[in-house]
Structure 1
């Protein structure tokens, strides 16, 4: 297959900048400011998307993101993560840790993004960026990358067959997001006529997790603070540890609430654990809150606790970088509860949504695995697009 230097099929390769004033100029509304944590492979993470005002955006107009741009992380632990800009995010600017790659008509940007996340290219980028004290990808490195450049029709066909899987993933995520909004609305309506109770008055357990002894395989899953974000639990950053021989109460149960309890920027993040099919625990940087089902409906109380996330963040004690959340302060917070007569039905509705959300996310894992399996042979020419289409049709 024909190889071409990336600089020959792009009109822009360049990183962004930090707005004057840094994080102090972030606003609730305004132009999106994309940072490295917003760029994942094949998708964007929008729950921590910063915003800047018109003045800051104008000062950064040289790093304006356009529809179809490829975003590539170029520094730090997330280096070489790559996705396409989502048009719903526009207008947008990027930080100095993210490069904008804008293609000519000779290169389909959707296809290029797949090239950059293809394992052989990903491994090359990671090896190239290893600079000792600080990993970095420079404009020169990116410009001189040799990338496969088949006819534009073939590029589009590859992009579209893989894109069909991503479209289904996005549709499922949208369904989960709508369900989460419905859950909050149902709880809010019920809790208006309810009561307030201290967390420690309706909880049977408020405790930190364990100090894990990590293993490479044949262990027990242990969650860390990276697993708790956007009021969801993500298993991908989890590790394996020696199975628990004691402290079995720290094995998670359905409807436990996990609260990040150390560190600046992560402390206070909370999420409900909604599974019962896995044996999982958490490390000592996370607090487990388990509600007593004799005193309250645990799923309902869990949603009530999630409402308190900003209050929990304000409870941090200690210096920057060493902040801690005390269990007694967490337990003293008051949460809203639905009236007892409404809790059973509300809890049933919440669990029904939890089951649906789990099914959709499980399907997304399967779709993503299919996409990742198809990518290398499509890029190498080992399979034809028509063969990939049959595989996609079977799972979408």
Structure 2
């Protein structure tokens, strides 16, 4: 399709800058400063700058170019290798972790940054990545040295731009929907807090709600190595709960369906509310109406309304997505050498205001409507992403042209 070069050559020629993340020392951490962006804060085409760890601003000079810039192309290189995103405008400046690499394209040098991002999802890159990927006892990875040796064929800039515009139009619509989803969630949160302040009511702990049969909650399934299989129940981990959404893993280990009876209630069900309880504690999501076969990991806790006569689902969801649970969870967190966490007893001690059921239903009806609108946009985004992912390999390989998509003759 064009001139063959390598990422290393492009860097040496000044077309782009590439590097890995900053290796933060424990003494450099602080409560404020530059937030550390880890692979868990990144999914394909989306970045969530909400992690808990910061490098103090006094270390800006030491961090150097490993601070984010809008338009940086990001590639996860350790753990889940191959996630791709573009750092967006308007997001706070963060420091990249060593689990990812950044590619900073310099303008006017024949490389379109969005084209490069899409190329990282092509089979041409995927094959080379697989050939070069290594593995440790901890996780698979690809080194910066190996990335520099990756070859790519660059078509003319006008072709790069045309491909980026076609695929980018789909991503721009997805981004617009994401903004609408975020605005809807902010409205839902404001509506709930306004209602709850106006009615006032006694509070009940989640354990007490469970004891009276209104609510069920529990942690995830502790999978044994012997129970793993190539297909079956996908394992949803804390990293799959981001931006108030639940993403289902694509590939990786599953729990065999032979163990369905052992898994029991820990299977994911439509309408569940989910909270992360280890690592980045307190991320929340609502499970949509259409779900894959999946099971919660021990890093997550699920909540399930059991008796609608005592607890309205919409009301509970509105409270769950408000700031109140997070405020109560934060002082309960325990620290370990590995990661902060809360246990099931801590979760059960969290309390919720419980007005009469008629009031709950009034508040809950508004929450249901707003959540329904958000889920409709989530479904639309899934369809848009599917279209993009089908077009991407065809365009990048040259099997179809932009002209043929726009109604012209295939090249």
TM-score bin (small chain): 0.7 to 0.9
Residues 138-287 of structure 1 aligned to structure 2 (within 5 Å): 138-192=143-197, 193-195=199-201, 196-203=203-210, 204=213, 205-210=216-221, 213-217=227-231, 219=232, 223-236=236-249, 239=254, 241-242=256-257, 244-245=260-261, 254-261=270-277, 263=278, 265-275=279-289, 282-283=296-297, 286-287=300-301
Are positions 1:309 and 2:326 aligned together?
yes
| Residue range with higher mean Cα deviation, 175-184 or 221-230 | 221-230
Identify if the C-alpha distance between structure 1 residues 348 and 16 changes in structure 2 by more than 3 Å, giving closer, same or farther.
same
Residues 125-140 of structure 1 aligned to structure 2 (within 5 Å): 125-130=129-134, 135-140=140-145
Distance 2:365 2:50 in 1: 27
2:390 to 373, 377, 385: 373
Identify if the C-alpha distance between structure 1 residues 71 and 220 changes in structure 2 by more than 3 Å, giving closer, same or farther.
closer
Q: Classify the secondary structure of the residue corresponding to 2:90.
A: helix
2:81 to 54, 79, 82: 79
The 8 Å contact of residues 21 and 100 in structure 2, kept in 1 or not, is answered as: yes
User: 1:44: which partner in 2?
Assistant: 47
User: 2:349: which partner in 1?
Assistant: 332
| Residue range with higher mean Cα deviation, 309-318 or 95-104 | 309-318
Q: Classify the secondary structure of the residue corresponding to 2:120.
A: helix
Distance 1:59 1:318 in 2: 28
Aligned residues: 385
Distance 1:322 1:34 in 2: 16
Identify if the C-alpha distance between structure 1 residues 313 and 237 changes in structure 2 by more than 3 Å, giving closer, same or farther.
farther
The 8 Å contact of residues 197 and 336 in structure 1, kept in 2 or not, is answered as: yes
The 8 Å contact of residues 300 and 337 in structure 1, kept in 2 or not, is answered as: no
Are positions 1:60 and 2:73 aligned together?
no
Provide TM-score, normalisation by structure 2.
0.80
Q: Where do 5+ consecutive residues of structure 1 fail to align?
A: 392-396
2:126 to 119, 122, 128: 122
Provide TM-score, normalisation by structure 1.
0.82
The Cα of 1:255 is off from its aligned counterpart by: 4.1
Distance 1:37 1:126 in 2: 21
Distance 1:251 1:211 in 2: 12
The Cα of 1:26 is off from its aligned counterpart by: 4.5
The Cα of 1:185 is off from its aligned counterpart by: 0.5
User: 1:348: which partner in 2?
Assistant: 365
| Residue range with higher mean Cα deviation, 376-385 or 48-57 | 48-57
Aligned-residue CA RMSD in angstroms?
A: 3.3
Distance 1:36 1:302 in 2: 28
Are positions 1:383 and 2:400 aligned together?
yes
Q: Where do 5+ consecutive residues of structure 2 fail to align?
A: none
Distance 2:335 2:25 in 1: 28
The Cα of 1:323 is off from its aligned counterpart by: 7.6
Distance 1:323 1:70 in 2: 30
Are positions 1:24 and 2:26 aligned together?
no
